[in-house]
A and B are shown apart, each in its own frame.
Chain A
């Protein structure tokens, strides 16, 4: 039982490059989330998916897109990376509403 798995763990991008962060869960979560973590700012919601086939913007969606490919997978795409997107990104899943969120191990992204 792997839980919530993110890839890659580390990534360095040049400004303007694109990339996709992958997230997969085997916990049968209905809801999945993407957060970014910056020093002193806590965990800020980028996008979320309340169920398969639906996605919605969170607090800081600009510069990102997401895809809920199926119930297991929720990817985050940066179309044109900017230095302001340097951060640690966490994917999380949650089962049935009002329960514990399980986090992936995080992706440390640096945009130079």
Chain B
């Protein structure tokens, strides 16, 4: 089955800095890569996603890049703000038609004012 590795587990930045979270996946058949944000005590919610036919996608201060050859994808947050503090999960989906989301272990992002 799919295996997703996510790093770092904790990331501490100053407000205004950039943050980068990296994930690798094992199954070359995976073709959909969403990122979820989970605020304390709340449910995970999608913030951005990318499909395997695209190398980069941006939405205001967040962007995701995908390298299919290397089987890794990254989340980039620019001009971080305290409200960006949360746990971020990457996921990989789309192996052999089962479409089961396999999640990374999460990154706790702390943005210091």
Contact = CB atoms under 8 A, between A and B. Distances in A.
Interface of A: 31, 33, 35, 40-45, 48, 50, 58, 90, 92, 94, 97-101, 103-106
22 contacts: A33-B100, A33-B101, A35-B103, A40-B106, A42-B89, A42-B104, A43-B89, A43-B103, A44-B103, A45-B100, A45-B102, A48-B100, A50-B98, A50-B99, A94-B99, A97-B94, A98-B93, A100-B49, A101-B91, A103-B43, A103-B44, A106-B43
| Pairs of residues from A and B, 6 with the lowest C-beta to C-beta distance, nearest first | A42-B105, A97-B99, A103-B43, A43-B103, A98-B32, A100-B46
B42 interface: yes
B31 interface: yes
A42 B103 contact: yes
A97 B29 CA distance: 14
**Is chain A's binding surface mostly helix, strand, loop or mixed?**
strand
Contacts of A44: 103
A41 B105 contact: yes
Nearest to B106: A42
Contacts of B28: none
A35 B99 CA distance: 15
A95 to B, nearest CB: 10
Nearest to A31: B99
B113 to A, nearest CB: 25
A44 B106 CA distance: 11
A97 B51 CA distance: 13
Which of B91, B101, B103 is packed against the most chain A CB atoms within 10 Å?
B101
A92 B43 CA distance: 10
Contacts of B97: 97
Contact of B99 (A40, A41, A98): A98
B9 interface: yes
